[in-house]
Structure 1
């Protein structure tokens, strides 16, 4: 399959390019950002050697549609989507924290809890919880934003303020926006027979000082979803939950001896396994968005993106 695992575009008025774990962000004249969602797959903060067909298109389309569905609650950076893999928006100064919000004891929180921790990012966790139990109220457990190849690190609200990473006035807004977005995301998920378990949001400031949502929102890379039907029965019976997220990749890696720890090697992903991952991402899209996924033409994917972005910039900038 033709995947896009890296780009090297040179758009008109381009100032710089930033390459993240799965996205490449082109700065146009210190004014706009062209964000290309690649087909790279990251797990345990490590980028896997092979791309996943259509993954970038899936992430980009979920994120941009959810931005449209939440802009009445929280302003965002998005201007347009000139290509299935591309979002264009206003240049922002990003906050150096990811706002992680959890409605359930799952994933990283469950692993920490099993290890005996009862405080996560300064938030006390109730005793007697089982993996995938619902918290009494959603909790915010921020993480410092890692550079590519580094691990994001848990951090408390208190430490964020003490270290001056975010001002208190701004942090109050970030918390408010995080809770509002999670509430809306949970309502949309419920309407589709899903539970939004946990997610992360990233925010930035525009040139005029407005705090806006940036990056992705409610995608399977940034969020975990459970199927609502049978959730309580599975909890009562001590069974694992049916979920829609990247967790299935993490579990496969763990079962093959990889958790991103020093000295560990990424296991070989066969073409057949890559195809199953692509199929799972398509299933995620169709369930989360409640619409069929339409595969874009990937025969000349680099040329397609270049043409669509250059046309957009010529017409609108």
Structure 2
């Protein structure tokens, strides 16, 4: 089987029984199970969820997105070998560690295959919960332009690029376009303050004002757990994005949980520790791919300027990246995943066939 065939680039065409359209995001596709299948699996497998909780099959892909576009390589390579398995393995590891340490559960109720999660429907909090331990990326770009206030937090003068911040910063932004919230522009990924959230907690999806403190606690504690574990591997946890939502367990208790993915090279910046101490930044995350794209194309403003989205989409569509670029990303993702989980990530030659067989034979979800 060729390299291109071993990559799971299309993940929205699996014959999973569903009575709703498949939702396909940049990387994952979501198949909502029928009510009958959800109830059957909850009973058969003993999941700790309400008996009528809607369940979904979430299938990751090897696609790579950056600057809100999907990128592809030469010779039909439409993804990064090993990327999907690496992302899920890392998230599974951190979610398990969060549970062990008594932080909070996640939306995942079962992991049938390295590419697949069975998740329960959560009521999302409409916040991209971002934590920053170092000044870099968009914050550094804004800082160099003279901005000193971020999400209601004032930064001191004299910070240097990539240095550790005086304290861990929570710099939330909106998830999606939220309308009718005083002081919050109606646009995606808009920075917001804690005061914005406290004054309009219901509009952001919080059940109570007290839950804002709980989300902040889970954000800080989750960041700390990952940061400490990576430090033991001599890796630097720079910044990350968490997402939260509400679910109801089998006893009828509503609880705030982690959802989406956590601590992955897609949602975080991770740096190599020894290189950082030598004054160099070696990215162990998608940031390295972003920087490569900025250097690869003659006009990087296309990638950074939201007003030029049409040009950006054309750039991604019309330019096949060199195979070695995607293989370099593959080595980065698999390398950090294997450090985190402590063993080699075994890759399938035909993940789609494996997924179909497991979901048919062990879960009865394919006719």
TM-score, normalising length: structure 1: 0.89
After superposition, where does 1:226-245 map in structure 2 within 5 Å? 226-234=271-279, 240-245=280-285
How far does the alpha carbon of each residue in 1:201-229 deviate from its partner, in whole angstroms, 9 at most, with x for none? Answer: 11111144211111111111111112222
Task: Please say if residues 77 and 92 of structure 1, whose CA atoms lie closer than 8 Å, have aligned partners that are also in contact.
Answer: yes
Match of 2:357 among 302, 307, 316: 307
Match of 1:4 among 5, 8, 19: 8
After superposition, where does 1:143-182 map in structure 2 within 5 Å? 143-146=173-176, 152-163=189-200, 164-167=203-206, 168-182=209-223
5+ residue gaps, structure 2: 36-52, 73-77, 178-186
5+ residue gaps, structure 1: 235-239
What CA distance in whole angstroms lies between the structure 1 residues aligned with 2:271 and 2:16? 40
What CA distance in whole angstroms lies between the structure 1 residues aligned with 2:139 and 2:167? 14
The residue that corresponds to 2:119 in the other structure is 89
Once the 2 structures are TM-superposed, how far is the Cα of residue 141 of structure 1 from its aligned partner?
0.8
How far does the alpha carbon of each residue in 1:266-290 deviate from its partner, in whole angstroms, 9 at most, with x for none? Answer: 3431223222222222122223333
What CA distance in whole angstroms lies between the structure 1 residues aligned with 2:276 and 2:239? 15
Task: Please say if residues 226 and 241 of structure 1, whose CA atoms lie closer than 8 Å, have aligned partners that are also in contact.
Answer: yes
What CA distance in whole angstroms lies between the structure 1 residues aligned with 2:146 and 2:358? 51
How far does the alpha carbon of each residue in 1:167-202 deviate from its partner, in whole angstroms, 9 at most, with x for none? Answer: 422222111100010111111001111111111111
Q: How many residues get paired?
A: 306
Structure (1/2) with the larger strand percentage: 1
What CA distance in whole angstroms lies between the structure 2 residues aligned with 1:279 and 1:229? 18
Note the aligned Cα RMSD (angstroms).
2.2
Match of 2:320 among 268, 276, 281: 268
Match of 2:56 among 33, 40, 43: 33
- Where 2:254 maps in the other structure, the secondary structure is coil
Once the 2 structures are TM-superposed, how far is the Cα of residue 111 of structure 1 from its aligned partner?
1.8
What CA distance in whole angstroms lies between the structure 1 residues aligned with 2:278 and 2:325? 30
Q: Which structure would you say has the larger Rg?
A: 2
After superposition, where does 1:62-73 map in structure 2 within 5 Å? 62-71=90-99, 72-73=102-103
What CA distance in whole angstroms lies between the structure 2 residues aligned with 1:221 and 1:136? 25
The residue that corresponds to 1:237 in the other structure is none
Once the 2 structures are TM-superposed, how far is the Cα of residue 151 of structure 1 from its aligned partner?
5.4
What CA distance in whole angstroms lies between the structure 2 residues aligned with 1:171 and 1:213? 14
The residue that corresponds to 1:102 in the other structure is 132
The residue that corresponds to 2:38 in the other structure is none
How far does the alpha carbon of each residue in 1:94-113 deviate from its partner, in whole angstroms, 9 at most, with x for none? Answer: 11111110111122221221
How far does the alpha carbon of each residue in 1:136-160 deviate from its partner, in whole angstroms, 9 at most, with x for none? Answer: 110001122248xx95332222223
Q: Does 2:255 match 1:210?
A: yes
